Structure formats: C-alpha cells, structure tokens
Amino acid sequence: MSKKANTSLIMSDAASRQQRISSLLGQAILFLITSLSTITVFFIFYFILKDAIPFFKSEGFKEFFTTTRWYPSGSPAEFGALPIFVGTGLVTLGAIVVAVPLGIAASVCLSDLLPFNVRQIVKPVIEILAAIPSVAYGFFALVVFAPLLQNHGGAILSTGVWIVLGPIFALLTMVLGDLLLDKLRNTMSPKVATSIVFPILGTLSFLFLYRLSANLSGVEISSGTNALNVSIILGIMALPTVVSVAEDALQAAGRELREGSYALGATRAETIIKTIIPASVSGILAAVILGVMRAIGETMVVWMASGNAARIPEPWYNMLQPVRTLTATIAGDMGEADHVTGSSRFHVLFAMAFCLLAFSFIMNLISEIIVKRSRKKLGK
C-alpha cells in the first residue's frame, strides 16, 4: 500500500528521464523555429551575394562604383552606377531634410507639450501615415503631385518657402533681437533699442524671404517626376518612423530630469532644448538612422515618381531634375533581365541589392548599438 503511494507521487527514473528528454526536445524545436529568422538573414546574405559575385568577377569594382555611363543593355554593356548611387543619396538627403526637423518637432510635441487626450487623437494619425501602402504614396506622387508640381511649380515652391521658413525666421528674429538688446543695454535706453532693433531685423528677414520666394516663383519645372517630388513624399513616409522612435527616446529621458530643470527656473522650451534633447540625443540619432533606412529601402514611390533618368543632376544638388535610385533600378530592370538569367545584366542588379543590404545592415547595427548604450547610460 505504502509502496504504491510512493510510486504515484515520485516519478520513476525512467519516466523522469522521459519527461526531461521530451521537454528538451520541445525546447529544441522551439529554438529551431526561433532561429528561423537568423537562418533567413544568413540565406538572404548568401543568395544575394552568390548572384552578386559573378558581376564583380567579370566587370570589376571600378567601373561600377566610379563611372557614370549606365547602359546595361548596350553592346558593349556599360555598368557605371555612380549616377544611381548619387540619385539614391540625393533623394534620401531630401527625405531627411523633410522628415527629421518635422519629425523631431512632432515627437517633442507628442512627448512634452500635448495633453494626454490630444495625444490619443494624434497617435492614430501617425499610425495611418505609416500604414498607407507605399504604392498608394507612389500613385499620389505620380498622378496628383507631379502634374501639380509641373504646372504650378513656382507657386508651390514660393508658398512652401513662406510656410517652412516663415516661422523659423520669426523665431530667429526674436532670438537675435534679444541678444542684440543685451549688447545695446549700456548705450541706449531699452525702449528705444527695442523700437529700433526689432523693426530692422523683421524687415530684413521679411525682405530676404520675399526675394527668395519671388525668385522661386519664377522657376519652371520641366518634369513633375523629379527628385524634389520623391523627397517630399519619402520624407512624409519616413516621418512616422522618426516620430515614434524619437518619442520613445524623449520619454525615456524621464521625469527627474525635467523636474530638475523646471526647479532651476527653466521654461519648457529651455528644458527641452538644453536638457531633454541632449539627454536623449542617441535615441534621436537612432530615429534618424531608421528614417534614413526607410527612405533608402523604399521602392514604389521612387520607381513611379523619380523620373528614372540615370544621370547625375547638374549641379549635383539640383532637386528639380529626374534621378534614378538603386531600388527603382532593381525593380525596373529585373523584368527585362529575368529572361537572360546569368548575364551581367542580371547579376548587376544583385550587386546593387547587396550594396543596399550591406548599408542597411550596418545602419541597423549602429542604431542597435546606440540604443543599447543610451539605455545603459540612463540606467535602464
């Protein structure tokens, strides 16, 4: 009787071993499935590299990276991809110029300025911006925005200047004016100084903006599908990434820092600019990097609306000319190259994909390291 009770409460060695083995086996299967993403990453690198190497073997590196003639279907074929790299860089740069200031301002606003209720409304707006499929953005860029830009380019540019630079110049005027007033305090009465300094600075900045917008309104855009169009749309697409990552970073800076700064008598703006942003600068950097990756890896918008001309714009920063990017080249040329699998024309696209892959891999690593380090620094 007592023996029986014993066996039912304490497992026999065999049963215990069996259970341990089955649990280990189960864990092994789980581990295998988990490591699937690791295997995938290795496979992606391997298969892209496998088809990229034949190109570098037969054509070498020099032509691909340094020359400017891109005629993959000519005879002899020429594979100078420099214009395509420049195009990618230009478009990405434009997207950063749009997305980073706007994104950081918006994330500051979300994390420090808006009350909770309003934030609950704004967050879905960002999520919707992130959710809209890239082909819909591309369609908008090609069918709606490009004709607008082509027909009313000057007007759009000059209003854009007013909208974007107007507030910034107003701020600048105030800051500069105040600094000047500090300097003039000893020589003049403050009232006189105020009535002189601010009107002069205001008129100057107004005149500057006016001239700039007048010049821009005369610009004629020969084709609406150009780097500017794509940059703006890509910037909008990268915004949600920048905002959400930067906002996380700003939130992570914590209450103590903010309250400490307020206690010293700083205003909210001073707290954010002088304390919070420096404290979370690494997270913001990570946000910028992720935004760059989003812009560089985007295919449909650039394919549809960048004009696809493999030329370096003249001068190189001319955003009003059509450009071509790596992603668009891969997407556009593979259709034709597919029939001649094994040719240089086929492999060059894998070489481009490898460049993209390597770049995004490095960027990703950097952002991971930055985030990890900043977490350590903030003690979390």
Hey, what are 279's tokens? 């404290």
Binding residue for other proteins, selected from 84, 100, 110, 234, defined by CB under 8 A = 110
Helix, strand, or coil (residue 11): coil
Min CB(154)–other proteins separation in Å: 16
Residue 283, C-beta contacts closer than 8 angstroms, at least 6 positions apart: 245, 246, 248, 249, 250, 252, 370, 371, 374
Q: Of the candidates 96, 126, 157, 320, which one interacts with other proteins according to CB under 8 A? A: 126
Residues 234-253 that bind other proteins (CB under 8 A): 236, 239, 243
Is there a contact between 86 and 329 (Cβ–Cβ < 8 Å)?
A: no
Task: Give the residue from 91, 213, 229, 219 showing the smallest Cα distance to 149.
Answer: 229
Q: How many residues bind other proteins (CB under 8 A)?
A: 94
Shortest distance (Å) from residue 79 CB to other proteins? 17
Distance CA 310, CA 67 (A): 12
Site map for other proteins, 64-103, x if CB under 8 A?
Answer: -------------------------------------xxx
173 closest CA partner among 181, 161, 185: 181
Q: Which residues, 146 to 185, sit near other proteins by CB under 8 A?
A: 167, 170-171, 174-175, 178-179, 181-182
Question: Minimum Å distance from CB 153 to other proteins?
Answer: 15
Q: Which of residues 195-234 bind other proteins (CB under 8 A)?
A: none
When asked if residue 259 is in the footprint of other proteins (CB under 8 A), the reply is no
State which residue, 131 or 188, has the beta carbon closest to other proteins: 131
Cα–Cα distance, 149 to 255 (Å, whole number): 45
Minimum CB separation of residue 297 from other proteins in Å reads 3
Rounded least distance, CB 215 to other proteins, Å: 21
Site residues for other proteins, window 321-380 (CB under 8 A)?
327, 330-331, 334-335, 338, 341, 349-350, 353, 356-357, 360-361, 363-365, 368
Q: For residues 226 and 307, what is the distance between their CA atoms, to the nearest angstrom?
A: 6
Q: Are 162 and 208 in contact (CB under 8 A)?
A: no
Burial, 53: exposed, middle or buried (Cβ in 10 Å; 0-12, 13-18, 19+)? middle
293 is an interface residue for other proteins by CB under 8 A: yes
Q: Which residue has the tokens 């906002």?
A: 247
Q: Of 30 and 207, which has the nearer Cβ to other proteins?
A: 30
Residue 270 sits in the site that holds other proteins (CB under 8 A): yes
Q: Is the peptide bond before 76 cis (omega within 30 degrees of 0)?
A: yes
Task: Pick the binder of other proteins from 11, 25, 128, 207 (CB under 8 A).
Answer: 128
**Residue closer to other proteins (CB basis): 41 or 207:** 41
Please state the length of the chain. 380
Nearer to other proteins, 67 or 299 (CB): 299
Read off the tokens for 27: 């864990």
Q: Residue 211 has which token pair? A: 């001239």
| Residue 133 backbone dihedrals phi, psi, to 5 degrees | -60, 150
Shortest distance, CB of residue 224 to other proteins, whole angstroms? Answer: 14
Q: Quick one: which of 17, 20, 50, 211 contacts other proteins (CB under 8 A)?
A: 50
